[in-house]
Amino acid sequence: MNRMSQRGPHRGLTLVELLLVVALLSVLLLVAVPGFQAVQQRLAIRAEAGRLFMALNLARSEAVSRNQLVTLCPSDYARSGVVRCGGDYRQGWVLLRGVHTAGTATRDVLLRAWAPMSPTLHLLDRAGVRHVVAPISFMPDGTAGRNRTLMVCSHRLPALASWSVIMNVVGRARLMRAWGECPREAVV
C-alpha cells in the first residue's frame, strides 16, 4: 500500500458546493453594485463642488493679489483651445483677467483653465431650474457684487443630496451639503 491511500479521503470542493458559492456571490453583487454606484456618484458630486469652490477662492485671491478685476466664466477651452466665455460650466471654466462677456474671444488674459465636469453632473442655480451660465467677476478688493448659489446635482441619481457652493456679496465662498433640491427631471 502506498502512503497516499493511508491518509484518508481527499479534501476539496464539490461542483455543487462551488456552484452554491458562485450563486451567493452573484446575489451579493446584485445587491451591492447599485449601492456602490450611489456612493461613487455622491463622491463625484462632492469632488466637483470642491473643484468649483477652489476655483472661486483662487479667482478671489488673484483679484486681490493682482489688484485687478478677475472673472471666472464657463468655457469650452479644454475642447476647443479657444479662450472664450460662453456655454455653461459643464463644459469647463476659465479664470481670466478683466471682465469678459459670453462669446467674446480674448488674448493673453488666461490665468487658469479647468476641465469639463462629468457628463452625469449639472451645475444649477439654487432653485434647480437653470444651468449656471453667468460669469463671476471679483473686484480688486475681493468682493463679488452679489450673492450666488451654485448647486452640483446628478441627473443619473437625482435623489442624492446636492453639494452647493454659496458665495456672499463680499466674495467669500463656502460649501454646503443639501442646500437646495436637485430636480427629478432633466434640466435642459
CATH topology of domain 16-177: minor pseudopilin epsh fold (3.55.40)
Q: List, as own/partner pairs, every contact residues 182-187 make where C-beta atoms lie below 8 angstroms and the sequence separation is at least 24, other chains included.
A: 182/122, 182/124, 182/128, 182/151, 182/153, 182/154, 182/158, 183/124, 183/128, 183/129, 183/153, 183/158, 184/158, 186/155, 187/122, 187/124, 187/128, 187/129, 187/130, 187/131, 187/155
Q: Per residue of the chain (188 residues), what is the pLDDT tens digit? A: 555 556 666 677 788 888 999 999 988 888 877 778 888 888 999 999 999 999 999 999 999 999 999 999 999 998 888 888 888 899 999 999 986 655 555 555 899 999 999 988 999 988 888 899 999 999 999 999 899 999 999 877 767 778 999 999 999 999 999 888 888 765 66
**C-alpha to C-alpha distance for 140 and 91, rounded to whole angstroms:** 27
Q: Please give the C-alpha separations between residue 100 and each of 60, 73, 117, 164, 180, in angstroms, as whole numbers.
A: 16, 8, 21, 24, 29
What local confidence, expressed as pLDDT, does residue 143 receive? 95
List the beta bridge partners of residue 73: 94
Is 82 in contact with 63 (CB distance < 8 Å)?
no
Percentages (nearest 5) of helix, strand, coil residues in the chain: 35, 20, 45
The structural domains of the chain, with segments of one domain joined by +, span 16-177
Q: Largest Cα–Cα distance of the chain, in whole Å?
A: 95
> What is the rounded distance in angstroms from the CA atom of residue 98 to the CA atom of residue 63?
9
Output the pLDDT for position 112: 94
The reported pLDDT for the residue numbered 102 is 57
